[in-house]
Amino acid sequence: MSDVALLLRRTGFGTTGAEVEAATARGYEATVAALLHPGPDPGAAATPPPDLGGEPERPTQGADARAYKREIRARSQALALWWLDRMVRVRQPLVERLTFSWHGHWATSIQKVRSPAMMLAQNETLRAKGRGDFRELARAMVRDPALLVWLDGQRNKKGRPNENLARELMELFTLGVGHYSEADVREAARALTGWRVDRARVAAAPVPRQHDDGSKTVLGVTADLDDRGLVDLLTARPESAAHVATRLWARHGSATLPAATRTRLLAAYGPGRDVTALLRAMFLDPGFRADRSSLVASPVEYVVGVHRALGLTVPREGRAGRELLATLEALGQVPFRPPSVGGWPGGVAWLSTAATRERLTFAAAAAAKADLSGITSPEAAAHLLGVDAWTPRTLAALTGAAADPARLVTLALISPEYLVR
């Protein structure tokens, strides 16, 4: 695979031969610069966030809860389909791809939050703050209403604190497992006490009488820490820089992180915790291009990539919309519904029997809908999907299908070469 094709696949949702040609003409470094500093994107402008209205009123005791549940489900579907639509229509996909990476990092599920408006607000925070100082993102996230509901932060009170948010903040979001003690978890939970979530206003507010303002000791530092003091302490640790760098590398780099690359990434991230500088260092590092086919397209990358390559539009409502979300559910990845606070599994976990079966069904339906005029050879299919070259195995399979463009493209879409990038 050419270096530019590799870059486009790891920073977007698949790619196409036409995109690879345009980026090749522009040059690798100029493409990196454009990815990191996108101008106004007409695709994003054409897909404004849905107006979810006010939160539907929760049913009172004894009332019929079915209408409420139906309304929440309908808005959840509208929200997920909006995001998929935007991923398909943007011209500069890194912004959405990175937002999706942060969604996996600060993994929050609507299944428990039960508020599409809160999930949308979190999504906008991840997009707005996901490319700057990581501390700013973390400061916003510990006050994010959806995250507070998800990890019981709004139930964490002085006296007998609830440790849920404190533990995951250290283990998953900032430091990584093993870089803190059980005593640190208990003390950090005290720092995070005293927050309330207002569902109607989609806002979080401090509740001073439930906040523990005594002295706490976290990672050897003793102070009257509150949520901001705790986040500032955690994100200043060297372990935090390493955690952020390795998790972004796992999503946008490859399965292996060479030691020399790691050192350069940490230098770029620096004391300002600069995510854009980190990404630039990743994409320009020789280690980025060393391991060329170890990332398996996640279901969202795959489904969005197929839509982009085949020129299909995301159905925003109705049966077709529900079917698209059912496909993603069967593949194991629905936006706004990660399976746990640890996010989605990755890599070859997506190569399960069940997922392989679902991809085949989806690919056949997508190929049947698309305009495939002119796609009558394995080479044309490779250009359509931005694949550099087929193995002899796949070339033989596709050659046998050349007379039937829908079958040809279906097989190309389930080929190992398209899945692994």
Partner 1 sequence: MNSLTRRKFLLASGVTGGVALAAGAGTIGWRDVADRAGTRPPDAGVLVLVTLYGGNDGLGTLVPYSDGAYHDARPDLAYGADEVLALDDQLGLNPAMTGFKKLWDDGTLAIVRGVGYPRPDHSHFRSMDIWQTGSPDHPAATGWIGRWLDATGPDPLRVVSVGATLPPLAVGAKGTGVALPLTSFAAPAGPLGAGVRALSTVDPTDPPAQALAARATGTLLSATATFGPPLEAAAGTEADDDNQAQGASAGGQSALARQLAIVSRCVKAGVPTRVYAVSLGGFDTHADEKGTQSRLLGELDQAVSGFLTDTPGVVVAVYSEFGRRVGANASQGTDHGTAGPLFVAGAAVRGGFYGDQPSLTALDDGDLKVTTDFRSVYGTLLERVLDTEAGRVLDGTRPALDFL
Residues 122-161 that bind partner 1 (CB under 8 A): 150-152, 155-161
Residue corresponding to tokens 């978890």: 185
Least Cβ distance, residue 344 to partner 1 (angstroms): 6
What phi and psi values does residue 221 have, to the nearest 5 degrees? -100, 125
Closest to 264 measured CA to CA, from 290, 247, 243, 287: 287
Decide if residue 238 touches partner 1 (CB under 8 A). Answer: no
Decide if residue 287 touches partner 1 (CB under 8 A). Answer: no
Residues 17, 383: Cα–Cα separation, whole Å: 4
Residues 252, 94: Cα–Cα separation, whole Å: 10
Decide if residue 404 touches partner 1 (CB under 8 A). Answer: yes
Least Cβ distance, residue 410 to partner 1 (angstroms): 7
Among 196, 228, 237, 292, binds partner 1 (CB under 8 A): 292
Decide if residue 246 touches partner 1 (CB under 8 A). Answer: yes
C-beta closer to partner 1: residue 116 or 343: 343
Residue 195 three-state SS: strand
Residues 164, 144: Cα–Cα separation, whole Å: 15
Decide if residue 236 touches partner 1 (CB under 8 A). Answer: no
C-beta closer to partner 1: residue 36 or 185: 185
Q: Residue 196's beta-bridge partner residues?
A: 205
Site for partner 1 in 174-193 (CB under 8 A): 176-178, 182, 185
Among 300, 341, 372, 382, binds partner 1 (CB under 8 A): 341
Decide if residue 6 touches partner 1 (CB under 8 A). Answer: no
Among 9, 97, 131, 167, binds partner 1 (CB under 8 A): 167
Decide if residue 417 touches partner 1 (CB under 8 A). Answer: yes
CA–CA distances in Å: residue 67 to residues 34, 53, 80, 114, 321: 47, 16, 20, 14, 20
Least Cβ distance, residue 111 to partner 1 (angstroms): 5
Which two three-digit tokens encode residue 88? 């398909």
* Count of positions on this chain that bind partner 1 (CB under 8 A): 84
3-state secondary structure string across 77-132: HHHHHHHHHHHHHCCCCHHHHHHHHHHHHCCCCHHHHCCHHHHHHHHHHHHHHCCC
C-beta closer to partner 1: residue 31 or 147: 147
Stretch that binds partner 1, among 137-145, 225-233, 303-311, 406-414 (CB under 8 A): 406-414
Decide if residue 353 touches partner 1 (CB under 8 A). Answer: yes
- Tell me the residue ranges of DSSP E strands in 184-304: 195-198, 203-206, 216-218, 221-223
C-beta closer to partner 1: residue 39 or 159: 159
Decide if residue 332 touches partner 1 (CB under 8 A). Answer: yes
The one-letter code for the residue type at 192 is L
Among 52, 325, 394, 409, binds partner 1 (CB under 8 A): 394
Decide if residue 296 touches partner 1 (CB under 8 A). Answer: yes
Residues 35, 307: Cα–Cα separation, whole Å: 21
Give the H or E element holding residue 420.
none
Least Cβ distance, residue 213 to partner 1 (angstroms): 16
Stretch that binds partner 1, among 117-125, 215-223, 268-276, 294-302 (CB under 8 A): 294-302
DSSP annotation of 351 reads G
Which two three-digit tokens encode residue 393? 């195995």
Residues 187, 167: Cα–Cα separation, whole Å: 10
Decide if residue 266 touches partner 1 (CB under 8 A). Answer: no
Decide if residue 63 touches partner 1 (CB under 8 A). Answer: no
Site for partner 1 in 97-116 (CB under 8 A): 104, 109, 111-112, 114
CA 322 to chain centre: 21
C-beta closer to partner 1: residue 12 or 153: 153
Give the angle 165-252-311 at the CA atoms, nearest 5°.
Answer: 110
C-beta closer to partner 1: residue 51 or 182: 182
